[in-house]
Amino acid sequence: RKRQRYVEKDGKCNVQHGNVRETYRYLTDIFTTLVDLKWRFSLLVFIMAYAVTWLFFGLIWWFIAYCRGDLDHLEDHAWTPCVNNLNGFVSAFLFSIETETTIGYGHRVITDKCPEGIVLLLLQAILGSMVNAFMVGCMFVKISQPNKRAETLVFSSHAVVSLRDDRLCLMFRVGDLRDSHIVEASIRAKLIKSKQTQEGEFIPLDQTDLSVGFETGDDRLFLVSPLIISHEIDERSPFWDVSRHQLEKDDFEIVVILEGMVEATGMTCQARSSYLADEVLWGHRFTPVLSLEEGFYEVDYGGFHQTVPVPTPACSARQLAAAAARRDAHLYWSIPSRLDQP
């Protein structure tokens, strides 16, 4: 049975929230709710916010004109209406738009003989400014979100396990397709695997950190050219007892997260990907993609995902370390001590 991904290859999280009863929490954070909406719904809310406001105040302007009798004295030049040249609901609606958007065509204008109209004008001007600030702010934040910047951050299609400096390492490759760099880039990796505790508690999708250089600072990347991220399989690694045969039967997911600031905007960007157990190749190594040309370095992204098989022990890292320790001990005892020589 194919494992259900926790995080898709494109970074989308495969989690849906159901039976959420406290939906009022979304309204208390209405700004973030509007920003997180899909574009079609955001545009609908944007249009409706202005249309409803214009219609609401247009109706009030028409109601004031109707109550004062302005509509009954349209041809009476001696009558001073609340709004000049307002002769129906359509003209009241247009005057509402002119007032809120500060267009001011000059044909319709409020007079000084209408105190209720002056109060309404102030209210609409203030409320219109608030609506403009809120809706334009939402659209600006939504447009400037750095989510699309993550589309040009690529991860290798497979992870590999092979020897590096006589130690088993789990490796994957990351790259940036743009010339503008990701500033303060950092990488993290987590192992997603269900487990059962000694007390019998079952923990689905338990998350375990995979060290990719946090102690040494190697997790801080200078992502100018593609880099191979390495997780050394030592006694602290969850893969310490995993051999090649066990890896083929195991069921887990490795989630990798790349974060940094977009150089052009200074906004934080995050790119995610994942590797299932069958996407981890034992005994493979990534092919080089960087070459030195005349005056510059060239990256060939055509071989970004390519790997080549290399000789790699099929045993676990624990067994490999034990064999190395026995070999070192044998060499130590086989060499005669200088003190015993005459």
pLDDT in tens, 36-76: 888 899 999 999 999 999 999 999 999 999 998 888 888 88
pLDDT of residue 3: 73
Give residue 338's pLDDT.
45
- This prediction's pTM: 0.77
Q: How far apart are CA 209 and CA 274, in angstroms?
A: 14
Residue-level pLDDT at 306? 95
Each residue's pLDDT tens digit, 108-127: 899 888 899 999 999 999 99
Average confidence (pLDDT) over 20-49 = 85
For residues 304-330, average pLDDT: 87
Specify whether the CB–CB gap between 219 and 184 falls below 8 A. no
pLDDT: is 258 or 10 the higher one? Answer: 258
Of 22-26, 154-158, 167-171, 227-231, the range with the lowest mean pLDDT is 22-26
Report the mean per-residue pLDDT for the chain: 88
Backbone conformation region of residue 205, classed left if phi is above 0, alpha if psi is from -120 to 50, else beta? left
d(CA 291, CA 54): 62
Taking the CA atoms of 81, 82, 86 and 87 in sequence, report the sign of the dihedral they define: negative
Is the torsion defined by CA of 232, 233, 234, 237 positive or negative? positive
Q: Which domains does the chain have, with CATH numbers?
A: 23-144 (1.10.287.70), 148-327 (2.60.40.1400)
Residue 271's pLDDT is 92
**Among 68, 64, 91, which residue's Cα sits nearest to residue 79?**
68
Question: Helix (H) and strand (E) counts for the chain?
Answer: 7, 14
Residue 30 clears pLDDT 60, i.e. is over it: yes
DSSP β-bridge partners for residue 13: 7
What confidence tens digit (pLDDT) does each residue in 145-157 have?
777 788 889 999 9
Dist CA 221 CA 99 (whole Å): 53
User: Residue type for 74, please?
Assistant: L
Query: pLDDT tens digits, residue range 281-311?
Result: 999 999 999 998 888 899 999 999 999 999 9
Q: Report the pLDDT value the prediction gives residue 333, as an integer from 0 to 100.
A: 55
